[in-house]
Structure 1
Amino acid sequence: MYKKSYLFLLISFFPVVVNAQCIALQTYPAETSFEITTYNDEGEISSATKYQVEEVRKESERTLIMMRFIITNKKGKEIDKGNRSIIISGNNYNINLSSVIPEYKSDDPIYIQYSCTPKPGDDIPEFSRVTTYEEDNMGQISIISNKVGLDEGKYGTTEEIITELGTFNCIKLTYKVRYDLQDFVYTEWIDQATGRTIKIERINKKGKLDSYSLLTKFN
């Protein structure tokens, strides 16, 4: 059940970078910590994800922001942990799909590509793939396949978002994700000054709010 509650967590709460040497490094230097809280459609807490930036690694043609994460359920019990990273290259940054959909697994990672300098009307690349991963069940290895797709990704208008952390002027990004026979529409509100995603909503195929997440801490 907890998997549904944090389906779209939340490395989408990373920077829209002007370039690899600017906002990304200024916003998420090593040792930065932050927390994202996910709520159900009734506003009740479903889960929280804590991140710690452990390393910013510059390579010849890209920069990696490498993080450790811990996810807890509404009772504060740890339900997942591991490592995730953002790949910044050229005028784009790439986020592993399993960071957006935590229960999605693949031995051949798929990345969502975001623009570093988004403008209203800009698109993000779509994809549709079938991938596999190995699962160990009491010593017995199984091969599991997934079909996943993203389309209709487009940056939209700007809006003011108010949270406990303050007031933010944000650009909207909306896209559709199809995974495991489910269709959802995601909308992100990305702060134009810092590149941080402040809020994400997930809408089900009936057009109703399924869940939403907020950036609730940043140090």
Structure 2
Amino acid sequence: MKRLLIFALVLALVPAAFGQTASNSALKNPAGLKETAPAMFNVKFDTSAGVFVVEVHRDWAPIGADRFYNLVKNGYYDNDRFFRVVPGFMVQFGINGDPDVQRNWQNARIPDDPVKQGNTRGFVTFAKCGAPDCRSTQLFVNFGDNSGLNRQGFAAFGKVTSGMDVVDKINAQYREMPDQGRIQAEGNAYLTKEFPKLDYIKKATIEK
């Protein structure tokens, strides 16, 4: 009987194991994640601070919306930390907690979208460096009116339609202290050790 129970347990775990492997494999090949996003879709973020929902409009920023759709669909943001929180400005996330995954996306950049929708409270935008066409995986949610970012090419692709109160209460005690280079190199191990009270995304799910 004990042998049968062990065998049954192994069988029960097999689908989950294969699912996790498939997801990890997909995330290690950015070039393979090129699916076109629906014209509009919602993403539910179940976080340690609560739940919020982002409504994405592909026509606002098609390239950014497609990248976001593929990342969420393949579990990229699951277990990610909100590593940069600046009250009155924005909350930023999108460095994968697994360095083996993250290194594949570090240079997987996408072209800029023209700015059609600005950066005001609750709108969601890809972070970018000072150069053109350097968006990858990092996102931020605007806490207030940051319309000055529009002139710098930050194109919003979605907005928080419910749970903005949850976004407002994401832990800001560490502000900009986490080192992004170390997050990329060491992943969540670094953040858990040095900044244990960071809020994080439990799971991000696409909802029709």
TM-score of the superposed pair, with normalisation by structure 2? 0.32
**Greater percentage in strand:** 1
Q: Greater helix share, 1 or 2?
A: 2
Pick the structure with greater CA Rg: 2
Compute the TM-score of the two structures, normalised by the length of structure 1.
Answer: 0.30
